[in-house]
Amino acid sequence: MFKHLYKLLGIAGFALIAIGSGTTMSDVMRECDQGQSYQSYANCIRRTYDARGNKPNDGTVRAFYAGMDAIREANYRGAISDIQAKSATYDLWRRTIDASNRANAPTVCQRTYGGGVVCY
């Protein structure tokens, strides 16, 4: 009986770890870039990140999606090519999500008395 309980707890623990970690937007963008049209690429990014992303409801992600919608519309109208749209999406990612990640990253870490680490 305990063997089955431990197995269930192990599966639940793995699921919590998997849910908590999520996939980064840069990984999703790389995974979705399979040489398809920009419209398919943009759909893949949104669908995949909403399902597996580590912060799908974050404000920077929503800003990225809004910008991506504008790029998608320009591409759909023929104002920009698929290549230009993908390039613009990468630039948009750098200005939104990547910039936020870099701004929130600790810059200096020091060991404290007692073996701890403080980053600021």
**Residue-level pLDDT, tens digit, the chain, 120 residues:** 545 544 544 544 444 444 446 899 999 999 999 999 999 999 999 999 999 998 899 999 999 999 999 999 999 999 999 999 999 999 999 999 999 888 876 667 778 887 788 776
Give the integer Cα–Cα distance in Å for 9 and 103.
Answer: 37
Neighbours of 33 (CB within 10 A): 14
Answer whether 63's CB lies under 8 Å from 84's CB: no
Q: Which two tokens stand for residue 106?
A: 């600790």
